[in-house]
Chain A
Amino acid sequence: MWLLYHIGRYTHFIYRVFGKPERFSIYFKNFMLEGWKLGIGSLGIVVIISFFMGAVVTLQTAYNFESPIIPLYLIGLTARDSMLLEFSSTIVALILAGKVGSNIASEIGTMRVTEQIDALEIMGINPSAFMVRPKILGMVFIIPFLTIISMFIGIFGGFLASVSTGVLTAHDYIYGIHYAFIPWYIYYSLIKSVVFAFIFTSVPAYFGYYVSGGALEVGRASTKAVVASSVLILIFNLILTQLLLA
């Protein structure tokens, strides 16, 4: 019952979020601002974690390849496919669910408990559409760029790690990342990242929007939002993988 209640209320919330805008120009301005704030503001963390994860995946693979009959260029291939298939979409989304998700839940939750949402409603503005839609669309728009940047940085991190530690040559690594390349993996990753971005913006917005009480409840909503978003990302990762790769 509890789950059905939240699914029903979330669906109704999303229906209202995508209601008719009061003034398109204001929404467009907010969409640009949110895309910049949430998306570009996350670039730093995406670059840092992608670089180190690419490097670590490469080294771990190299140290586990002990058989002399396995060609070393497969280390490059493994690093590339790890980044493309899983890391740049799913792991980045999980990290952004923590960073962006808690930010959205606490921002909207604070607006709720300080009556700013009521103020919007009194003015005749649809508060869910006004506040939430630019965040969802801004992030959904920017996430493919973040995913592609993450792929490049991760593969570059692997390259630097392998060359600097001498586990394989630059030639082997570059050959490996070209070997048996399947372009569909990139589309698969981009599709996943867009779905995940929708989840880690809309779910925290939902939790923040329906907060009642004070600062304590806003904090709780923020934590619940991150947990729920992360679980949903993992579930949808499984579903999308079966749908898109099977």
Chain B
Amino acid sequence: MIQVEQLDKEFSGKKVLEDINVDFEQGKANLIIGQSGSGKTVLLKSIVGLHTIDNGTVLYDGRDFHRLKKTEQKKVRQEMGMLFQGSALFDSYNVADNVRFPLDIFTNQSKAEKMKRVAFCLDRVNLHDVEHLLPSELSGGMKKRVAIARAISMNPKYLFCDEPNSGLDPKTSVVIDDLLLELTHDFNMTTIINTHDLNSMMGIGEKIVFIDEGKVEWTGNRDGLLSTKNETLHSFIYSSKILKDSSN
């Protein structure tokens, strides 16, 4: 479980996040939603420690991440996996080396054990016979799946995904969403997903946090999303032309 309490963050005097209080539950897909510029990427990066925070705490199962010593932070980081918007695969490494990379750095496993783990992770994301390919030879969806395989290679307790569907077609987006949800349940991870994709919200939103202008405006789940009385969220959701047409 990840608890964010009274978190503030500003850049050059401009408040980007203000008094954020939210719990992200274990074994669930927790979605942070909001329009572009609302502060959801800053929130995610503040949670994982890529941004420092001005006030507040981020607790990883009770451990106050931003106040831990560097060595203790490193240990927590080894329990994290992250899927970046652009996949962030290492260009000069092939698929197998990308997935194996954290194992090479942090484990003392033999090469055979590591390759077994790589095969397992790639199998979990439904990728086969791609071990020798370079990232430049993969499609957008395949890159995302390799990045997920790399993120789960160390068997993380916490999985973070920044816009996992950006640049993907609707069909591939659903495949990635389903995969993230399945892995979250199978590995009992605390998964936090940043998205503004309505399909994702309705498909995998077991817990949804709506951010607007740097503040938590609404929390709930996919069932309460469409019937919300919150005006800001309502206007965000129903800005979708499909929903607008169907509600008329």
Contacts and interface: CB of A to CB of B under 8 A. Distances in A.
B88 A114 contact: yes
Nearest to A130: B105
B84 A26 contact: no
Contact of B106 (A22, A115, A118, A122): A22
B88 A124 contact: no
Interface in A104-140: 110, 114-116, 118-119, 121-125
B105 A22 contact: yes
Nearest to A113: B86
A123 B105 contact: yes
Interface in A73-127: 110, 114-116, 118-119, 121-125
Contacts of B80: 122-123
A118 B77 contact: no
Interface string B67-93: 000000111011011101110111100
A124 B72 CA distance: 10
Interface residues of B, number: 25
Provide the main secondary structure of the chain B interface.
mixed
Contacts of A116: 88-91
Interface residues of A, number: 14
B104 A115 contact: no
B48 interface: yes
A115 B49 CA distance: 14
Contacts of A125: 105
B82 A122 contact: yes
Contacts of A118: 50, 82, 84, 88
B56 interface: no
Give the interface centre of B77, B89, B101, B105 by most chain A CB atoms within 10 Å.
B105
Contact of B88 (A22, A23, A26, A119): A119
Contacts of A23: 104-106
Contacts of B73: 124
Interface string B18-60: 0000000000000000000000000000001110000000000
A119 B135 CA distance: 15
Contact of B102 (A114, A115, A123): A123
B195 to A, nearest CB: 17
Contacts of A26: 104-105
Interface in A1-34: 22-23, 26
Given A115-B86, A118-B88, A119-B88, A124 B50 contact: no
A35 B101 CA distance: 21
Give the interface centre of A23, A115, A118, A124 by most chain B CB atoms within 10 Å.
A124
Nearest to A118: B50
5 contacts: A116-B89, A118-B84, A122-B48, A122-B81, A123-B78
Interface of A: 22-23, 26, 110, 114-116, 118-119, 121-125
Given A22-B105, A119-B84, 8 more contacts: A114-B91, A116-B90, A118-B82, A122-B160, A123-B101, A123-B102, A124-B77, A124-B78
Interface of B: 48-50, 73-75, 77-78, 80-82, 84-86, 88-91, 101-102, 104-106, 154, 160
Closest 9 CB pairs of A and B: A124-B77, A115-B88, A124-B74, A119-B88, A115-B84, A122-B82, A116-B88, A124-B78, A22-B105
